[in-house]
Amino acid sequence: MEKMYSKKGGIPDLKELISILNNFTGIISLDNAKLYYINSKLIFSSLNDKKMDLNDIFKNIPEEFQIDALNMSSNRVNKLLERVSVNNLDEKSISKDIFVDVYGNIENYVGCGLFKVTLFPRKYKEEIGTILFSNKEEIAAIYQKKDKILVGPKALSKLKTIFAVSDVKICPEKISKQDLDETLGENKDAMLKNFVSFEELMEKIKEKSPKIVENDSLYNILPKNPSIVEIVEKNAVIVSNDKTPIMAFLENYDGDKAYRMIKNFCILNNTVFKIYELTEDEFKNIKEFKNAKIKDVN
């Protein structure tokens, strides 16, 4: 959790802040009001812990108030919302109150790691869908209608067509590898592609003996061959090839944002690096996590 904005101001200042936020996930606090965002989309707002529309909040707050914006993961936002009184929600989890009308918008509600998203079309109440994600990429799909079940690519195609005629309530939840295996055990042909979880891949890679480098710069230690560079103190990983960082993973962040945070940490701290050289297959597998690609290495 990181405070990215703090200022005493009014509604014009708040509107200006909202207008410049890009892919903001977190909470904007306005004295006793709170605005919950996932990917710059307002998903819940409250005043004195009571659910309230944003326009009504504007009518009930003073002309000047403290504005604080806290950046955090979507999983953390949902966890905080679970603590809000059940009286404020139709269901226990805010995830169950999310409606989307475009299939592509589902990815706004899943993050790094494994996620299961259950879909309930508003227009077709007898139908239900399940999509499993790994690092924001679909890896399995299941469609059910009474006694009819579709799995794999056919299920995904069917679920996508539903969005043309109905909006869909989605319930995203972060799951464990065990949860994934249980779901796939019941629907063995639901896989959309060959899949190895990031956690499994890293466990296998870390069975090797790493080269350990201390108190050197990130730029100096990047190897020529495809490699994993683990920043021990930060529980972070950079994938490099030809002495260039190409992917980055850090807790709930990946790609450019993760790389910037890792780079700044390495500049400010004496760092221990563990370097694992990758086989051709390991390098091929880890490049499947496309959302972690670094576009800007400067």
- pLDDT tens digit sequence for 242-288: 999 999 998 768 888 889 999 988 888 889 999 999 999 889 888 87
The percent of residues above 70 in pLDDT, for the chain, comes to 91
Report the C-alpha gap between 278 and 294 in whole angstroms: 18
> What's the pLDDT at 195?
63
Token pair for 281:
């297959």
Going by DSSP bridges, is the β-strand pair 98-100/168-174 parallel, antiparallel, or unpaired?
antiparallel
**Cα angle vertex 74, ends 229, 150, to 5°?**
95
Query: Residue 72 gets which letter from DSSP?
Result: -
> What's the pLDDT at 253?
80
> What's the pLDDT at 119?
93
192-230: pLDDT as tens digits: 876 667 777 888 899 999 999 998 999 899 999 999 999
> What's the pLDDT at 230?
94
The residues with which 118 forms a beta bridge, in sequence order, are 130, 171
> What's the pLDDT at 173?
87
The mean pLDDT of 165-191, rounded to a whole number, is: 86
pTM: 0.45
Hey, what amino acid is at 5?
A: Y
Given pLDDT bands bounded at 50, 70 and 90, which one contains residue 148?
A: confident
- Long-range CB contacts (< 8 A, 24+ apart) of 79-86? 80/27, 80/36, 81/36, 81/44, 84/44, 84/46, 84/49, 84/51, 85/49, 85/50
Burial code of 37-64, b = ≥16 C-beta within 10 A, e = fewer? bbbeeebbbbbeeeebeeeebeeebeee
